[in-house]
A = this chain, B = another copy of it.
Amino acid sequence: MSVTAAQGFLACGIAAGIKESGDRDLALVVNRGPSRAAAGVFTSNRVQAAPVRWSRRVLADGRISAVALNSGGANACTGQAGAVDTRLTAERTADAVGVDPHEVAVCSTGLIGVRLPMDRVLAGVAAAGELLSPDGGEDAAVAIRTTDSVHKTAVVTRDGWTVGGMAKGAGMLAPGLATMLVVLTTDADVDAGRLDETLRDATRVTFDRVDSDGCMSTNDTVLLLASGASGLTPAPEAFAEAVHAVCRDLAGQLVADAEGASKEIEVRVVGAASEEDAVEVGRSIARNNLLKCALHGEDPNWGRVLSAIGTTAAVFDPDRLDVAINGVWVCRDGAAGESRDEVDLSDRRITITADLRSGDASAVLWTNDLTAEYVHENSAYSS
C-alpha cells in the first residue's frame, strides 16, 4: 500500500526512459489534503544534490503538495544547470497536478555528476500526472528503485488513522547510486511543527543508525506528508510511535537488502556515559572494515571490536570493556572471556553487544558485513 495507504494521497510510478533498462524510473506522490503539512530531513553531506537544495527551500514553510521522484540519475554535482533541471521538474509537476511549484518537493537518485535527460523527465512527469491513483503506491515504490533487489514499503494503522511509506536504498552500499529516499504519508491531522519534531526523533534512531558502509550520499531525503483526511489528530505519543514503527520497519528493509551483504549486524552499545558516546562507539564498530570482514568469515573476532572502541573519545576504561557476540561474552574486562568456540555465526543475523560499563546510556546501530560481492558490485560496473 505504501504511500497511498493513508487517505488523501494519490501516486503512480512509470517508465519515463530515464533508465536505459526501460524499468520504471519516475514516481509522483500527491497530497489531496485537506492539509498539506509536511516535514523533511536531508543528508548532512555538505555536497548536496540540486533536488536536496530545492526541497529544503520548499519545506521552509512546512507545506508539500506533491513529490516528484526519479531514479536513473542523482542530479548531484551538476552545477547551475542541474539546479535549473530540478526547478523545471517541480514546475512541470505543478502544472500536471494543479498545485504551486513551490509546494513540490523533488528527489533524485542514481549516478552523481551526470545531467538528467530532461526531455524524458518532463514528458514523464506530464504523463504520470494522468496516471495518479489511490492505488498507485506500489508502483511508486517500484519506480524509485536503483540497485534495490526489492521495493520497500511499510504501513501501520491505528484508530482511524494510518502512517505508510516507501523507501529505496540498498543499505547505502550502492555505487554512485547510494542514496536513501523515503516518503512517508499519513492521514492524521498533524501540524508541520509536530511533523518535524516527530520525524527528526524517529529518523535519529532509525535511518541515521543504519551505517552499512560509512558512505554518506549527496541525495538522502526523508519526507513526511500529512493530509489530515482522517479528520483525527492523534495523541503526540501515539503518532510518534507509529512514525517510529514505520521508519524502523523501512530501515530494517534497507539493511536486509544491502548490496553484496551476507550478514545483518545489530550493534548494541550499553553502559555508555551518554547516548552520544554510545552512538560514537557503535558507529566506530559498524564501520570497521576488518571486523566486517571477520564477521563475513563467521570469525567472532572480538579484538577488532575492542580496537574499534579504542579509536573513539567515549568514556570507558580499556580494562573494563565487555563484549558479547550473539550473546556469548567473549571479552570480559578487556581480555578474553567465554570461549569463542561457543559463538555460532552461521545465521544471517548477528548481534554484537559492547558494554562500556561507564553509565546507563545505550544505542543500537545496524550494519552489514564486508564481502567480495560488495567490492564486485561497486567496482565491476562503470558508474
Contact = CB atoms under 8 A, between A and B. Distances in A.
Interface stretch (A15-23, A195-203, A269-277, A287-295): A287-295
A303 B76 contact: yes
Interface stretch (A30-38, A97-105, A246-254, A304-312): A304-312
Nearest to A375: B372
Nearest to A373: B372
A297 B372 contact: no
B289 A289 contact: yes
A102 B111 CA distance: 59
Given A112-B306, A301-B383, A311 B375 contact: no
A96 to B, nearest CB: 28
B175 A47 contact: no
Given A82-B335, A113-B331, A333-B79, A293 B47 contact: no
Interface string A192-221: 000000000000000000000111111000
A309 B215 contact: no
* Category for how many chain A residues contact B: 35 or more
Interface string A148-180: 000000000000000000000000000110100
Interface string A276-287: 000000000001
B289 A113 contact: no
B79 A216 contact: no
Contact of A378 (B176, B294, B316, B319): B294
Contacts of A82: 335
Q: Among A76, A287, A312, A381, which residue has the most Cβ atoms of chain B within 10 A?
A: A76
B288 A215 contact: yes
Contacts of A379: 293-294, 296-297, 299, 370
A229 B139 CA distance: 79
Contacts of A79: 319, 333-335
Interface of A: 44-48, 74, 76-79, 81-82, 111-114, 175-176, 178, 213-218, 287-290, 293-294, 296-297, 299, 301-304, 306-312, 316, 318-319, 321, 331, 333-336, 370-372, 374-376, 378-383
23 contacts: A46-B310, A47-B306, A47-B307, A48-B318, A76-B306, A77-B302, A77-B306, A81-B335, A82-B335, A112-B306, A112-B307, A113-B336, A176-B303, A215-B288, A215-B308, A217-B307, A218-B307, A289-B374, A290-B378, A293-B379, A297-B379, A297-B381, A372-B376
